[in-house]
């Protein structure tokens, strides 16, 4: 990774470096951090001579050779002070960043989604979620509908809140990018789909959109999860949020095995914000508050929570795990208390 002395390289400097790396069959890619651009070396970057020549240029601060499978995500990387901005929020800055909304948008009942969005804005969420396309275990369950994108766009226009939508393939990604979706969600089933991760990283690079990467149910180690996020950053989008959402169930009664306790491990190893999803972790509306409080106590920067004005009328996971906006408001207030305490303790 190449780190310039200034916040970015000018075009003449880029050309000069491109010329050097091309002699070693490599290329460079600009990654735009909040304060600092860094330049990833693509190709076999182990050539000591190439490193030396670049490091010797007067405008280069250093050429970083962090030995890590996730050198850009690494806490020690030059992106370590990168901040993820979503709409008017800097994730993890002053208070927990809360994404809320139904699991699934029902295209036949747009007013249920729009009314939920307004109620959630009132409750204090920072962004809206809503499934347009759904990864369903049962192939005969509702799979989503392109029409739902219009409904979530309308909710964004009416509330002014940024939106989070899961994408599972190129076609959905194209539609979501055209709609300027603020947060592209990669679900648990695609957490290790490296082709999709690369495509998302590449197409969303420089657009300002965030990516919420869920921890796959089968992603064993924190490092495997961080390396998946590295694919997004290495293709040019550093606006990554890591989202633990429960792993393979071991506790009979919970939908998944709650894993909010992985938060400090992720935060120690990377600079990326952690946004925990308590809804899919526990799978029952009644346990969502406890899991949320626990996540914030563990150091999470935010939460992604399923919420619906009338869960019984929702589809997908909503009847079981969505909380009503009134509960969301109480939850946000309790999480803020823990957040404030957390910072008091730290100081
Ligand atoms: C969802 O957010 O509704 C969802 C399908 O999540 P996950 O990928 O975590 O199962
Ligand atoms: Mn869901």
Nearest CA to ligand 1 atom 4: 187
Helix, strand, coil distribution of the chain in percent, nearest 5:
40, 20, 40
Q: Which ligand is nearest to the CA of 189?
A: 1
Question: What is the H or E stretch that residue 40 is in?
Answer: strand 37-42
End-to-end CA distance of the chain: 33
What distance in Å separates the CA atoms of residue 197 and residue 195, rounded to the nearest whole number? 5
For residue 345, the model assigns a pLDDT of: 65
pTM to 2 decimals?
0.92
How large is the C-alpha radius of gyration of the chain? 21
Mean pLDDT split into 10-residue runs, the chain, 347 residues:
93 96 92 89 82 94 83 91 96 97 98 98 98 95 96 98 98 98 97 97 96 86 94 96 91 87 96 98 97 98 98 96 98 97 71
What distance in Å separates the CA atoms of residue 92 and residue 32, rounded to the nearest whole number? 19
Strand order in the sheet with 183-186: 240-243, 210-214, 183-186, 163-166, 127-129, 97-101, 302-306, 275-276
Residue 165 CA from chain centroid, whole number? 11
What distance in Å separates the CA atoms of residue 321 and residue 175, rounded to the nearest whole number? 28
* Residue 40, ligand 1, Cβ within 6 A: no
Q: Which of 345, 328, 303 lies closest to 92 in space, CA to CA? A: 303
- Ligand 1 atom closest to the Cα of residue 103 is 3
Q: Are 152 and 132 in contact (CB under 8 A)?
A: yes
* Residue 131, ligand 1, Cβ within 6 A: yes
For residue 271, the model assigns a pLDDT of: 97
- Ligand 1 atom closest to the Cα of residue 280 is 9
What distance in Å separates the CA atoms of residue 141 and residue 203, rounded to the nearest whole number? 30
The token duo for 118 is: 């307004």
Calculate how far, in angstroms, residue 80's C-alpha sits from the geometric centre of ligand 2. 31
For residue 110, the model assigns a pLDDT of: 98
Please identify every residue whose CB atom is under 5 Å from ligand 2, which is an ion.
103, 317
């Amino acid at each position: 990774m190449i780190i310039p002395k200034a916040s970015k390289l000018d075009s003449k400097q880029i050309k000069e470096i491109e010329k050097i790396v091309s002699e070693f069959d490599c290329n460079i890619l600009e990654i735009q951090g909040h304060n600092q651009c860094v330049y990833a070396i693509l190709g076999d970057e182990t050539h000591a001579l190439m490193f030396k020549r670049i490091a010797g240029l007067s405008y280069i601060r250093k050429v970083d050779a962090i030995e890590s499978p996730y050198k850009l995500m690494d806490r020690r990387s030059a992106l370590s002070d990168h901040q993820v901005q979503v709409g008017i929020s800097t994730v993890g800055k002053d208070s927990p960043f809360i994404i809320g909304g139904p699991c699934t948008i029902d295209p036949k009942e747009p007013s249920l989604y729009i009314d939920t969005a307004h109620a959630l804005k009132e409750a204090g969420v920072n962004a809206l979620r809503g499934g347009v396309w759904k990864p369903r275990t049962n192939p005969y369950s509702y799979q989503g509908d392109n029409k739902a994108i219009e409904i979530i766009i309308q909710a964004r226009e009416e509330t002014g809140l940024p939106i989070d939508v899961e994408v599972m393939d190129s076609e959905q990604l194209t539609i979501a990018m055209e709609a300027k979706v603020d947060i592209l969600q990669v679900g648990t089933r695609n957490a290790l789909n490296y082709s999709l991760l690369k495509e998302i990283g590449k197409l969303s690079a420089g657009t300002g959109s965030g990516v919420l990467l869920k921890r796959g149910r089968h992603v064993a180690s924190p490092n495997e999860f961080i390396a998946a996020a590295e694919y997004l950053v290495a293709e040019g989008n550093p606006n990554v949020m890591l989202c633990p959402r429960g792993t393979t169930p071991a506790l009979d009664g919970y939908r998944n095995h709650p894993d909010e306790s992985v938060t400090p491990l992720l935060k120690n190893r990377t600079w990326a914000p952690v946004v925990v999803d308590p809804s899919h972790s526990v799978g029952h509306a009644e346990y969502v508050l406890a899991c949320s409080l626990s996540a914030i106590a563990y150091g999470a920067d935010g939460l992604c929570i399923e919420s619906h004005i009338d869960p019984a009328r929702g589809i997908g996971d909503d009847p079981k795990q969505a909380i009503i906006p009134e509960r969301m408001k109480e939850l946000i207030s309790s999480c803020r208390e823990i957040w404030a305490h957390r910072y008091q303790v730290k100081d």
